[in-house]
Protein backbone atom coordinates (compact mmCIF):
# COMPACT_ATOMS: atom_id res chain seq x y z
CA UNK A 1 0.00 0.00 0.00
CA UNK A 2 1.39 3.47 -0.85
CA UNK A 3 2.74 5.26 2.20
CA UNK A 4 1.04 8.55 1.40
CA UNK A 5 -2.56 7.31 1.66
CA UNK A 6 -4.48 9.46 4.13
CA UNK A 7 -7.44 8.02 6.01
CA UNK A 8 -10.13 9.65 8.08
CA UNK A 9 -13.71 10.87 8.27
CA UNK A 10 -15.14 11.31 4.78
CA UNK A 11 -18.67 12.23 5.88
CA UNK A 12 -20.51 12.78 9.17
CA UNK A 13 -24.22 12.89 9.95
CA UNK A 14 -26.13 13.49 13.19
CA UNK A 15 -29.59 12.38 14.31
CA UNK A 16 -31.49 12.69 17.57
CA UNK A 17 -34.89 11.88 19.05
CA UNK A 18 -38.37 13.37 18.51
CA UNK A 19 -38.93 14.85 21.95
CA UNK A 20 -37.10 17.32 24.16
CA UNK A 21 -37.40 17.98 27.90
CA UNK A 22 -36.09 21.39 28.91
CA UNK A 23 -34.16 21.85 32.09
CA UNK A 24 -36.62 24.54 33.12
CA UNK A 25 -39.27 21.81 33.19
CA UNK A 26 -36.99 19.45 35.08
CA UNK A 27 -36.00 22.14 37.57
CA UNK A 28 -39.65 23.01 38.23
CA UNK A 29 -40.38 19.36 38.96
CA UNK A 30 -37.34 18.89 41.19
CA UNK A 31 -37.65 22.22 42.97
CA UNK A 32 -34.14 23.08 41.82
CA UNK A 33 -32.72 26.40 40.67
CA UNK A 34 -32.39 26.06 36.89
CA UNK A 35 -28.96 27.72 37.13
CA UNK A 36 -27.78 24.45 38.68
CA UNK A 37 -28.27 22.94 35.25
CA UNK A 38 -27.59 25.87 32.92
CA UNK A 39 -24.42 27.11 34.60
CA UNK A 40 -23.51 24.22 36.87
CA UNK A 41 -23.32 21.45 34.27
CA UNK A 42 -23.88 23.47 31.10
CA UNK A 43 -27.07 21.73 30.00
CA UNK A 44 -30.25 23.38 28.68
CA UNK A 45 -32.35 20.45 27.49
CA UNK A 46 -32.25 16.73 26.78
CA UNK A 47 -33.45 14.67 23.86
CA UNK A 48 -36.02 12.02 24.81
CA UNK A 49 -36.81 9.16 22.41
CA UNK A 50 -40.43 8.52 21.45
CA UNK A 51 -41.92 5.13 22.31
CA UNK A 52 -41.03 3.86 18.82
CA UNK A 53 -37.49 5.27 18.76
CA UNK A 54 -34.29 3.68 20.03
CA UNK A 55 -30.61 3.36 19.16
CA UNK A 56 -31.44 1.51 15.93
CA UNK A 57 -33.92 4.05 14.56
CA UNK A 58 -31.60 6.97 15.40
CA UNK A 59 -28.63 5.14 13.88
CA UNK A 60 -30.46 4.45 10.63
CA UNK A 61 -31.65 8.08 10.56
CA UNK A 62 -28.05 9.29 10.94
CA UNK A 63 -26.59 6.88 8.40
CA UNK A 64 -29.22 7.17 5.64
CA UNK A 65 -28.00 10.56 4.31
CA UNK A 66 -24.47 9.18 4.04
CA UNK A 67 -25.61 6.19 2.01
CA UNK A 68 -27.79 8.46 -0.14
CA UNK A 69 -24.83 10.73 -0.92
CA UNK A 70 -22.11 8.14 -1.48
CA UNK A 71 -23.86 4.88 -2.24
CA UNK A 72 -23.10 1.62 -0.46
CA UNK A 73 -20.98 -0.27 -3.00
CA UNK A 74 -17.70 0.40 -1.15
CA UNK A 75 -19.07 -0.19 2.36
CA UNK A 76 -17.69 -3.57 3.37
CA UNK A 77 -18.01 -3.10 7.11
CA UNK A 78 -20.47 -1.54 9.55
CA UNK A 79 -19.23 -0.99 13.10
CA UNK A 80 -21.92 -0.01 15.62
CA UNK A 81 -20.73 1.44 18.93
CA UNK A 82 -23.18 1.61 21.83
CA UNK A 83 -23.54 1.04 25.54
CA UNK A 84 -27.33 0.78 25.40
CA UNK A 85 -27.59 -2.26 23.18
CA UNK A 86 -31.00 -3.75 22.40
CA UNK A 87 -29.73 -7.33 22.36
CA UNK A 88 -27.01 -9.28 24.15
CA UNK A 89 -26.12 -11.24 21.03
CA UNK A 90 -27.28 -9.65 17.79
CA UNK A 91 -25.49 -6.47 16.72
CA UNK A 92 -27.79 -3.46 16.49
CA UNK A 93 -26.03 -2.65 13.23
CA UNK A 94 -27.60 -5.68 11.56
CA UNK A 95 -31.01 -4.02 11.89
CA UNK A 96 -29.54 -0.84 10.39
CA UNK A 97 -27.96 -2.86 7.58
CA UNK A 98 -31.43 -4.17 6.73
CA UNK A 99 -33.25 -0.83 7.03
CA UNK A 100 -30.76 0.87 4.71
CA UNK A 101 -30.57 -1.99 2.21
CA UNK A 102 -26.80 -2.34 2.46
CA UNK A 103 -25.02 -5.05 0.44
CA UNK A 104 -25.04 -8.57 1.86
CA UNK A 105 -21.27 -8.72 1.21
CA UNK A 106 -20.51 -6.77 4.37
CA UNK A 107 -19.51 -7.55 7.94
CA UNK A 108 -21.46 -5.97 10.82
CA UNK A 109 -20.28 -5.90 14.43
CA UNK A 110 -21.06 -4.09 17.68
CA UNK A 111 -18.51 -2.65 20.09
CA UNK A 112 -18.84 -1.88 23.79
CA UNK A 113 -16.69 0.03 26.26
CA UNK A 114 -18.83 2.70 27.81
CA UNK A 115 -18.56 6.03 25.96
CA UNK A 116 -15.16 5.19 24.42
CA UNK A 117 -16.28 2.58 21.89
CA UNK A 118 -17.17 5.11 19.19
CA UNK A 119 -13.46 5.90 19.02
CA UNK A 120 -12.55 2.22 19.08
CA UNK A 121 -14.87 1.82 16.07
CA UNK A 122 -13.18 4.71 14.27
CA UNK A 123 -9.69 3.36 14.92
CA UNK A 124 -10.64 -0.18 13.87
CA UNK A 125 -12.19 1.27 10.72
CA UNK A 126 -8.96 3.09 9.90
CA UNK A 127 -7.08 -0.20 10.22
CA UNK A 128 -9.45 -1.90 7.77
CA UNK A 129 -9.07 0.91 5.25
CA UNK A 130 -5.29 0.79 5.60
CA UNK A 131 -5.48 -2.84 4.58
CA UNK A 132 -7.62 -2.06 1.54
CA UNK A 133 -7.98 1.66 0.67
CA UNK A 134 -10.68 0.86 -1.90
CA UNK A 135 -13.07 -0.05 0.94
CA UNK A 136 -15.09 2.24 3.19
CA UNK A 137 -16.36 1.60 6.70
CA UNK A 138 -19.64 2.91 8.09
CA UNK A 139 -19.08 3.75 11.76
CA UNK A 140 -22.17 4.43 13.87
CA UNK A 141 -22.30 5.57 17.49
CA UNK A 142 -25.80 5.63 18.98
CA UNK A 143 -26.99 5.76 22.57
CA UNK A 144 -29.80 6.69 24.93
CA UNK A 145 -28.51 7.68 28.36
CA UNK A 146 -30.85 6.87 31.24
CA UNK A 147 -30.53 7.26 35.01
CA UNK A 148 -32.99 6.73 37.81
CA UNK A 149 -35.55 9.50 38.22
CA UNK A 150 -34.54 12.00 40.84
CA UNK A 151 -30.84 11.11 40.82
CA UNK A 152 -27.98 13.50 40.10
CA UNK A 153 -27.41 11.89 36.71
CA UNK A 154 -30.98 12.52 35.52
CA UNK A 155 -30.19 16.06 34.33
CA UNK A 156 -27.39 14.79 32.07
CA UNK A 157 -29.55 12.35 30.09
CA UNK A 158 -29.85 12.56 26.32
CA UNK A 159 -30.06 10.63 23.06
CA UNK A 160 -28.34 10.90 19.69
CA UNK A 161 -26.59 9.00 16.94
CA UNK A 162 -23.65 9.96 14.76
CA UNK A 163 -22.75 8.10 11.57
CA UNK A 164 -19.34 8.51 9.96
CA UNK A 165 -18.04 7.22 6.65
CA UNK A 166 -14.38 6.31 7.07
CA UNK A 167 -12.21 6.02 4.00
CA UNK A 168 -9.08 7.01 2.12
CA UNK A 169 -8.63 10.61 0.97
CA UNK A 170 -11.29 11.87 3.41
CA UNK A 171 -13.28 15.01 2.66
CA UNK A 172 -13.67 16.18 6.28
CA UNK A 173 -10.95 15.21 8.74
CA UNK A 174 -7.71 13.30 8.21
CA UNK A 175 -6.91 11.20 11.29
CA UNK A 176 -3.24 11.22 12.22
CA UNK A 177 -1.24 8.13 13.09
CA UNK A 178 -0.09 9.00 16.59
CA UNK A 179 -2.45 8.03 19.38
CA UNK A 180 -2.24 7.87 23.16
CA UNK A 181 -4.25 5.29 25.07
CA UNK A 182 -4.98 4.59 28.73
CA UNK A 183 -6.88 1.93 30.69
CA UNK A 184 -7.59 1.62 34.42
CA UNK A 185 -10.01 -0.65 36.30
CA UNK A 186 -12.28 1.93 37.97
CA UNK A 187 -15.93 1.60 39.02
CA UNK A 188 -17.00 5.16 38.26
CA UNK A 189 -19.97 4.33 36.04
CA UNK A 190 -21.52 1.01 35.09
CA UNK A 191 -24.76 -0.77 34.25
CA UNK A 192 -25.15 -4.44 35.24
CA UNK A 193 -27.18 -6.66 32.93
CA UNK A 194 -30.07 -6.72 35.39
CA UNK A 195 -30.52 -2.92 35.40
CA UNK A 196 -32.02 -0.66 32.74
CA UNK A 197 -30.51 2.52 34.18
CA UNK A 198 -26.85 3.32 34.77
CA UNK A 199 -25.09 3.66 38.11
CA UNK A 200 -22.56 6.43 38.59
CA UNK A 201 -20.24 7.73 41.28
CA UNK A 202 -20.05 11.37 40.19
CA UNK A 203 -16.91 12.36 42.08
CA UNK A 204 -15.09 9.19 41.12
CA UNK A 205 -16.10 9.62 37.48
CA UNK A 206 -14.71 13.14 37.24
CA UNK A 207 -11.50 12.03 38.95
CA UNK A 208 -11.18 9.01 36.62
CA UNK A 209 -11.79 11.19 33.56
CA UNK A 210 -9.04 13.64 34.58
CA UNK A 211 -6.68 10.76 35.33
CA UNK A 212 -7.35 9.49 31.81
CA UNK A 213 -6.58 12.93 30.36
CA UNK A 214 -3.13 12.76 31.91
CA UNK A 215 -2.56 9.14 30.95
CA UNK A 216 -3.55 9.50 27.30
CA UNK A 217 -1.57 12.72 26.87
CA UNK A 218 1.55 11.10 28.35
CA UNK A 219 1.30 8.17 25.94
CA UNK A 220 0.48 10.46 23.02
CA UNK A 221 3.52 12.68 23.53
CA UNK A 222 5.82 9.70 24.11
CA UNK A 223 4.73 8.38 20.71
CA UNK A 224 5.68 11.57 18.91
CA UNK A 225 2.37 13.43 18.92
CA UNK A 226 1.87 17.13 18.38
CA UNK A 227 2.71 19.79 20.93
CA UNK A 228 -0.28 21.25 22.78
CA UNK A 229 0.03 24.67 21.15
CA UNK A 230 -0.29 23.15 17.66
CA UNK A 231 -4.00 22.46 18.15
CA UNK A 232 -6.65 24.97 17.10
CA UNK A 233 -9.53 23.17 18.84
CA UNK A 234 -10.24 20.19 21.07
CA UNK A 235 -13.17 17.75 21.12
CA UNK A 236 -13.77 16.05 24.45
CA UNK A 237 -16.29 13.43 25.50
CA UNK A 238 -19.10 15.41 27.13
CA UNK A 239 -21.10 13.56 29.81
CA UNK A 240 -22.18 17.16 30.47
CA UNK A 241 -20.76 20.13 28.63
CA UNK A 242 -18.94 21.66 31.60
CA UNK A 243 -16.88 18.47 31.81
CA UNK A 244 -15.18 19.45 28.55
CA UNK A 245 -14.11 22.70 30.21
CA UNK A 246 -12.86 20.83 33.30
CA UNK A 247 -10.91 18.41 31.12
CA UNK A 248 -9.27 21.06 28.96
CA UNK A 249 -8.39 23.19 31.97
CA UNK A 250 -6.81 20.13 33.57
CA UNK A 251 -4.80 19.32 30.43
CA UNK A 252 -3.48 22.88 30.27
CA UNK A 253 -2.50 22.81 33.95
CA UNK A 254 -0.90 19.38 33.56
CA UNK A 255 1.22 20.72 30.68
CA UNK A 256 2.19 23.87 32.58
CA UNK A 257 0.11 26.22 30.43
CA UNK A 258 -1.92 29.20 31.63
CA UNK A 259 -5.65 28.52 32.02
CA UNK A 260 -7.10 31.65 30.49
CA UNK A 261 -10.86 31.19 30.36
CA UNK A 262 -11.16 33.05 27.07
CA UNK A 263 -8.63 30.75 25.46
CA UNK A 264 -10.41 27.69 26.84
CA UNK A 265 -13.69 28.87 25.37
CA UNK A 266 -12.05 29.54 22.01
CA UNK A 267 -10.59 26.01 22.04
CA UNK A 268 -13.75 24.09 22.93
CA UNK A 269 -16.75 26.47 23.02
CA UNK A 270 -18.14 25.54 19.62
CA UNK A 271 -17.95 21.82 20.44
CA UNK A 272 -20.55 22.13 23.20
CA UNK A 273 -23.30 23.79 21.13
CA UNK A 274 -25.23 20.62 20.27
CA UNK A 275 -24.51 18.63 23.43
CA UNK A 276 -25.93 21.42 25.59
CA UNK A 277 -29.29 20.87 23.85
CA UNK A 278 -29.17 17.10 23.25
CA UNK A 279 -27.62 15.90 26.52
CA UNK A 280 -25.22 13.02 26.95
CA UNK A 281 -25.25 10.59 24.04
CA UNK A 282 -22.49 8.35 25.42
CA UNK A 283 -20.57 6.87 22.45
CA UNK A 284 -21.79 9.60 20.09
CA UNK A 285 -21.00 12.48 22.44
CA UNK A 286 -17.50 13.42 21.27
CA UNK A 287 -18.55 13.17 17.63
CA UNK A 288 -21.63 15.30 18.27
CA UNK A 289 -19.02 17.77 19.52
CA UNK A 290 -17.06 17.41 16.29
CA UNK A 291 -20.20 18.04 14.24
CA UNK A 292 -20.90 21.19 16.26
CA UNK A 293 -17.33 22.41 15.83
CA UNK A 294 -17.29 21.92 12.06
CA UNK A 295 -20.75 23.47 11.71
CA UNK A 296 -20.07 26.57 13.82
CA UNK A 297 -16.36 27.46 13.70
CA UNK A 298 -14.67 29.81 11.28
CA UNK A 299 -12.65 28.17 8.52
CA UNK A 300 -10.65 25.30 10.02
CA UNK A 301 -8.90 24.25 6.80
CA UNK A 302 -5.52 22.73 7.61
CA UNK A 303 -6.03 23.17 11.35
CA UNK A 304 -5.30 20.43 13.87
CA UNK A 305 -8.03 19.20 16.23
CA UNK A 306 -7.30 17.24 19.39
CA UNK A 307 -9.69 14.46 20.41
CA UNK A 308 -10.02 13.07 23.94
CA UNK A 309 -12.37 10.11 24.06
CA UNK A 310 -13.22 8.76 27.52
CA UNK A 311 -15.25 5.74 28.53
CA UNK A 312 -15.90 4.96 32.16
CA UNK A 313 -14.50 1.86 33.68
CA UNK A 314 -12.15 3.14 32.20
CA UNK A 315 -10.59 3.36 28.72
CA UNK A 316 -9.51 6.55 26.97
CA UNK A 317 -7.63 7.74 23.91
CA UNK A 318 -6.11 11.01 22.71
CA UNK A 319 -5.53 11.46 19.00
CA UNK A 320 -5.36 14.22 16.41
CA UNK A 321 -7.03 15.07 13.15
CA UNK A 322 -6.42 17.70 10.48
CA UNK A 323 -9.33 19.40 8.74
CA UNK A 324 -9.26 18.88 4.97
CA UNK A 325 -9.46 21.70 2.38
CA UNK A 326 -12.96 22.01 0.95
CA UNK A 327 -14.57 20.40 4.00
CA UNK A 328 -17.32 23.01 4.25
CA UNK A 329 -18.90 21.81 1.01
CA UNK A 330 -19.51 18.43 2.69
CA UNK A 331 -21.10 19.68 5.92
CA UNK A 332 -24.71 18.97 6.92
CA UNK A 333 -25.05 22.02 9.16
CA UNK A 334 -28.64 22.84 8.23
CA UNK A 335 -29.78 19.25 8.67
CA UNK A 336 -28.08 19.00 12.06
CA UNK A 337 -29.66 22.22 13.32
CA UNK A 338 -33.04 21.10 11.98
CA UNK A 339 -32.77 17.76 13.80
CA UNK A 340 -32.35 19.64 17.07
CA UNK A 341 -34.78 22.50 16.48
CA UNK A 342 -37.70 20.34 15.28
CA UNK A 343 -37.94 18.32 18.51
CA UNK A 344 -41.29 18.61 20.26
CA UNK A 345 -41.25 19.87 23.84
CA UNK A 346 -42.88 17.57 26.36
CA UNK A 347 -43.93 17.97 29.98
CA UNK A 348 -42.61 16.00 32.90
CA UNK A 349 -45.58 13.58 32.92
CA UNK A 350 -44.94 12.48 29.31
CA UNK A 351 -41.21 12.27 29.95
CA UNK A 352 -41.75 10.09 33.01
CA UNK A 353 -44.11 7.83 31.08
CA UNK A 354 -41.49 7.30 28.36
CA UNK A 355 -38.70 6.88 30.91
CA UNK A 356 -40.56 4.10 32.73
CA UNK A 357 -41.83 2.36 29.59
CA UNK A 358 -40.55 -1.19 29.00
CA UNK A 359 -41.57 -4.27 27.05
CA UNK A 360 -43.19 -7.23 28.79
CA UNK A 361 -40.96 -10.29 28.79
CA UNK A 362 -43.62 -12.90 28.05
CA UNK A 363 -42.79 -13.33 24.36
CA UNK A 364 -46.19 -12.06 23.21
CA UNK A 365 -47.11 -9.53 20.55
CA UNK A 366 -46.51 -6.00 21.79
CA UNK A 367 -47.03 -3.26 19.18
CA UNK A 368 -45.68 0.23 19.82
CA UNK A 369 -47.75 3.35 19.17
CA UNK A 370 -46.64 5.49 16.25
CA UNK A 371 -45.01 8.65 17.60
CA UNK A 372 -41.79 9.33 15.73
CA UNK A 373 -41.63 11.81 12.89
CA UNK A 374 -38.37 10.23 11.73
CA UNK A 375 -37.93 7.89 8.77
CA UNK A 376 -37.58 4.68 10.80
CA UNK A 377 -39.51 3.26 13.73
CA UNK A 378 -39.63 0.38 16.16
CA UNK A 379 -42.89 -1.37 15.28
CA UNK A 380 -43.00 -3.63 18.29
CA UNK A 381 -41.92 -6.89 19.88
CA UNK A 382 -43.21 -10.30 18.83
CA UNK A 383 -41.96 -13.69 20.05
CA UNK A 384 -39.08 -11.78 21.70
CA UNK A 385 -38.09 -10.35 18.29
CA UNK A 386 -37.72 -6.62 17.69
CA UNK A 387 -39.44 -5.44 14.52
CA UNK A 388 -38.35 -2.31 12.68
CA UNK A 389 -39.78 -0.63 9.61
CA UNK A 390 -39.51 2.41 7.41
CA UNK A 391 -42.19 4.86 8.43
Residues 158, 47: Cα–Cα separation, whole Å: 5
Residues 229, 164: Cα–Cα separation, whole Å: 28
Give the number of C-alpha atoms closer than 13 A to the C-alpha of residue 76, restricted to the C-beta side. 12
| Parallel/antiparallel/unpaired status of strands 75-81 and 385-390 | unpaired
What residues pair up with 79 in beta bridges, in sequence order?
A: 109, 139
Spell out the alpha helix ranges (H) of 240-358.
241-254, 261-268, 275-278, 285-296, 333-341, 348-356
Task: Clarify whether 237 is annotated catalytic.
Answer: yes
Report the candidate in 132, 152, 131, 156 with the shortest Cα–Cα distance to residue 143. Answer: 156
Residues 388, 377: Cα–Cα separation, whole Å: 6
Question: Which of these is catalytic: 53, 83, 277, 317?
Answer: 83
Task: Clarify whether 255 is annotated catalytic.
Answer: no
Interhelix angle for 285-296 vs 333-341, to 10°? Answer: 120
* Alpha-carbon 131 to chain mean position: 26
Compute the residue count for the chain: 391
Q: What is the distance between the terminal CA atoms of the chain, rounded to a whole angstrom?
A: 43
Residues 6 or more apart whose CB falls under 8 angstroms from that of 220 comprise 178, 179, 180, 318, 319
Residues 391, 386: Cα–Cα separation, whole Å: 15
* Residue 101 zone, left/alpha/beta (φ > 0; ψ -120 to 50; rest): left
Residues 156, 300: Cα–Cα separation, whole Å: 30
Question: Which of these is catalytic: 115, 176, 277, 317?
Answer: 115
Question: Which of these is catalytic: 237, 248, 250, 336?
Answer: 237
CB 138 within 8 A of CB 79: yes
Task: Clarify whether 83 is annotated catalytic.
Answer: yes
Catalytic residues: 83, 115, 237
Amino acid sequence: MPGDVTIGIHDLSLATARYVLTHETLAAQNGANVAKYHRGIGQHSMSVPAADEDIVTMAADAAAPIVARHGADRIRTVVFATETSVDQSKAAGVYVHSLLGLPSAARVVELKQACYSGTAALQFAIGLVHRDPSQQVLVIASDVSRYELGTAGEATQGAAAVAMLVGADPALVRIEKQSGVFTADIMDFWRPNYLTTALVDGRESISAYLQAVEGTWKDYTERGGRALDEFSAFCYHQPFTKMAYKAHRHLLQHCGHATDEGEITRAIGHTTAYNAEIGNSYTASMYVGLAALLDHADDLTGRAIGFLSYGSGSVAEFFAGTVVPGYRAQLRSDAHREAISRREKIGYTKYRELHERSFPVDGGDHPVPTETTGPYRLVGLSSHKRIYATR
